[in-house]
Amino acid sequence: MNRLIAVIGYSDSGKTTLIESLIPELKRRGYRIGTVKHSHHPPEFDKKGKDSRRHYDAGADTVMIYADNILAMIKHRKPSQTETSVGLKELAKYFEDVDLVIVEGFKGGDFPKIEVYRAAEEASPLYLSVDSVIAVVTDADIPVPVRRFGFDAIPKLVDMIEQTVLKG
């Protein structure tokens, strides 16, 4: 896959919100961005009763919706035994036209990761047990062994992404 970075963290820590803040800053700097959201639940696809949903419910292996300005696809696949970057590599062909792919939720694999960690968390930070964390975005007063950013430091975080992932 082109250049890849993961945003990881506990549920409701702000991963999606961080990604929503990163994308416009990266776009402003001229980058084409793709995203992948990892989910432990079957995805919602189209509305019940619509033709594409009926195709999917009937068992089609791949269903695509095509319109003038959008292309959406859902594909049945065999689940992997572990959450690894191998699954992401299978998706590379769908992201040939972007400079950076931001994935949300893939803790496994050897690609760089940004952890989102909130002071309200009761669990230990993930960087203690997850490899390849290169930065932590947090409001907690905790020591971190990697670069630390506040939630309002998006331009500085994007500077780091440019230096370590895009131009590294």
Helix (H, G, I), strand (E, B) or coil at 127: helix
The pLDDT tens digits for 118-163 are 999 999 999 999 999 999 999 999 999 999 999 999 999 999 999 9
**Which residue blocks in the chain are alpha helix, DSSP H?**
15-28, 51-57, 85-90, 154-161
**Which CA distances in Å does 41 have to 38, 133, 141?**
9, 25, 33
Whole-model pTM over 0.75: yes
- Cβ neighbours of residue 75 under 8 Å, at least 6 residues apart? 61, 62, 63
Fold of the domain spanning 3-38+83-166: Rossmann fold (3.40.50)
Q: How many CB atoms lie within 10 A of CB 95?
A: 20
96: helix, strand or coil: coil
Task: Quote the CA–CA distance of 45 and 9 in Å, as a whole number.
Answer: 25
Question: pLDDT tens digits for 82-115?
Answer: 545 557 777 778 888 999 999 998 888 789 999 9
pLDDT at 48: 77
Residues of CATH 3.40.50.300 domain(s) within the chain?
Answer: 3-38+83-166
CA 102 – CA 45 distance, rounded (Å): 21
pLDDT, greater one: 21 or 108: 21
